[in-house]
Structure 1
């Protein structure tokens, strides 16, 4: 449906020839006539696709069981992908909504912290058996208290705090010494806490809490200021991040078990190392523990081997040379056929040292929709030819300040999804 055909002049410049959208000659010079034809075909494709859009019905109505309380809810009938959880409706925002955005260093970390926790949770709570709901047990006040530093006796007295409110999970800062001395000796380890709830159907028309996942975002760099207001930072070693993360996780588990409704549900806790503020890639999860229902101790931690790399970069060349070469060949092919300035940057997710997902951002100037269509078709062909089919590849094509097109090739998919923004 909606196949787009590209036209180009022959070598004598007299007649128009139809050529395959996957051939590299698409990138050649466009005539005014070709531009008009392409724009017309693209518009017709959009109209046709709009006419075929499905109409979704409401979904399956259920009752959410909350012990003594019951509430009507709806399970969406359609799921956009097998790897995504269906979200129970009406949507209930977390009581700690917005805390992750405020506490995590970059937008990249915000996205990876949340989606990565979902990815790890599928090991314990399969997406085809469980429903997703934002965390309903940890509110902003609780999270704020847990993220605080523990107070010394002197600080409690000065701040007129009650001892029962002194529940910070970060280490106390000393009462004496300069800011530099105190922060180097006692950096802030825990940056953010994220809760996801997973619901399970217990009969035809009821759902209940089946388990929760907790993400703990840990600093790789601690930022602070001197008495004069100058910014400073302390890098935290990986072994210290792991040690402190596991210490904090054990305490978090005990506190969760004491909360009403969480005493006998499975709990997954995952440790996330967030990237420095200047990083162009997000951080990554490095450890996960699955705790059985009723247990208040973590008996075993599983190592999570995930990491992001930028393409092109010296780190990618050194550690994943084959993938680095594939990306550079792709980049060269794009630049050779389209002499306009192009900026091409990739970000690859590696799981167990295997490239799983590659996100490519391409920025270049366009002078008409026909050029966008032609360029997108050409890049689509390169994606299918250059990258192995076990990799999910997402390509975002943009001009100055606005998106132009999107290419998605899911792993093992025979055909890509391509969208031209209108």
Structure 2
């Protein structure tokens, strides 16, 4: 493969797919006449595309930036932001719209929404709120650079306290219902500011506090038509991430866990140095759509890195079906060494770093 064929890649755990990368998982499309939100969808894998939104200059940051650092929750912000942009593309195509960070929702508004949620607890002493954060993205028409649509990302935690003060966990369906209730209030508040453009709402479940590798997930999306103040349709999103190897993955997906374990043993048995290998699998609708594998070893020789990457790539071909997008990242503790990417039903490519 020559240099012109090399491509840059984005890890799955930090992003959602751009629309051109694969088929949408939910039906959607634009109708004729006035722009109304399409049914949002997520693509199954991450691919690099030049079809990104342009922006206006000077670049303006949203007013809620930095709030999450003081809230004690870990949010894979890249996954959240790029996922919202992917959802937006269904309604606001990049050919016709520009992106701008949210300019309407303020820090005080987000704090008030969270405070209202706490005050609504049965015992009046709830220490946590199901609502963690609200992220706004704005979309402007290219021809006049006027606001034409919004996407709101509501980050939610399933942890809550019941009437007796005991800590509980919402089920996924309960969290979706809770998110819909919160979205109804927030949309009405946004509409009170005379914003009559179409709005797309996405519910995002934050990662578990004890997991530093598995990102959060989108659980539902809804659409608000222009000049309306309520969500007209909600669509559940069945997205899940699992760490490999882990007891959770083995219980939920035993066949995929077995395949991964065989691949791991196969790779580690061929090289003398210790190689730490971890994987993160993304499942959409219960089907494995992408596997990201990170191999960590202290290699001094670039030829050994090359041989290892080629050997691992051959094992990947045997372990996973062609429909599964696979990312392999070879690294030391401090620096990347090589990458191998096999797109779903596409041609694989590899790159070894010189330094």
TM-score, scaled to structure 1: 0.65
Report if aligned partners of 2:268, 2:275 keep a CA contact under 8 Å in 1. yes
1:252 aligns with 2:183: no
Q: CA deviation at 1:192?
A: 0.8
Change (3 A) 1:412 1:86: farther
Look up the match of 2:158.
220
Instruction: State the alpha-carbon separation in 1 of the partners of residues 74 and 354 from structure 2.
Output: 27
Look up the match of 1:134.
101
Look up the match of 1:210.
148
Change (3 A) 1:85 1:373: same
Look up the match of 2:175.
241
Report if aligned partners of 2:217, 2:239 keep a CA contact under 8 Å in 1. yes
Q: CA deviation at 1:367?
A: 2.6
Instruction: State the alpha-carbon separation in 2 of the partners of residues 420 and 104 from structure 1.
Output: 36
Q: CA deviation at 1:253?
A: 0.5
Change (3 A) 1:421 1:212: farther
1:405 aligns with 2:338: yes
Report if aligned partners of 1:83, 1:127 keep a CA contact under 8 Å in 2. no
Q: CA deviation at 1:368?
A: 2.1
Look up the match of 2:37.
none
Q: How does 1:89-238 map to 2 (within 5 A)?
A: 89-90=56-57, 91-103=59-71, 105-107=73-75, 109-127=76-94, 129-147=96-114, 149-150=115-116, 169-172=117-120, 182-183=125-126, 187-202=128-143, 206-222=144-160, 234-238=167-171
- Kindly provide the CA deviation profile for residues 316-372 of structure 1, in whole angstroms up to 9, marking residues without a partner as x: 223223322332222122112113211111111111112222211111121322222
Look up the match of 1:343.
276
- SS of 2:210 mapped into structure 1: coil
| Larger Rg belongs to | 1
Instruction: State the alpha-carbon separation in 1 of the partners of residues 62 and 214 from structure 2.
Output: 27
Look up the match of 1:74.
none
Q: CA deviation at 1:222?
A: 4.8
Instruction: State the alpha-carbon separation in 1 of the partners of residues 251 and 266 from structure 2.
Output: 22
- SS of 2:200 mapped into structure 1: strand
Where do 5+ consecutive residues of structure 2 fail to align?
Answer: 7-46
Instruction: State the alpha-carbon separation in 2 of the partners of residues 274 and 175 from structure 1.
Output: 25
Look up the match of 1:18.
none
Where do 5+ consecutive residues of structure 1 fail to align?
Answer: 3-44, 50-79, 151-168, 177-181, 224-231
Report if aligned partners of 2:341, 2:348 keep a CA contact under 8 Å in 1. no
CA RMSD for the aligned pairs?
3.0
Q: CA deviation at 1:195?
A: 0.9
Look up the match of 1:375.
308
Report if aligned partners of 1:269, 1:290 keep a CA contact under 8 Å in 2. yes
Report if aligned partners of 2:283, 2:290 keep a CA contact under 8 Å in 1. yes
Instruction: State the alpha-carbon separation in 1 of the partners of residues 141 and 205 from structure 2.
Output: 30
- SS of 1:382 mapped into structure 2: helix
Instruction: State the alpha-carbon separation in 2 of the partners of residues 200 and 81 from structure 1.
Output: 24
Report if aligned partners of 1:220, 1:276 keep a CA contact under 8 Å in 2. no
Alignment match of 1:269 (pick from 172, 187, 201): 201
Q: CA deviation at 1:382?
A: 3.0
Q: CA deviation at 1:173?
A: 6.2
Report if aligned partners of 1:221, 1:276 keep a CA contact under 8 Å in 2. no
Q: CA deviation at 1:215?
A: 0.8
Look up the match of 1:302.
235
Q: CA deviation at 1:89?
A: 4.1
Q: CA deviation at 1:116?
A: 2.6
Instruction: State the alpha-carbon separation in 2 of the partners of residues 285 and 144 from structure 1.
Output: 22
Look up the match of 1:28.
none
Q: CA deviation at 1:218?
A: 1.0
Q: How does 1:279-358 map to 2 (within 5 A)?
A: 279=211, 280-358=213-291
Instruction: State the alpha-carbon separation in 1 of the partners of residues 160 and 70 from structure 2.
Output: 15
- SS of 1:301 mapped into structure 2: strand
Instruction: State the alpha-carbon separation in 2 of the partners of residues 188 and 95 from structure 1.
Output: 21
Instruction: State the alpha-carbon separation in 1 of the partners of residues 286 and 122 from structure 2.
Output: 41
Change (3 A) 1:89 1:412: farther
Change (3 A) 1:405 1:236: same
How many pairs are equivalent? 309
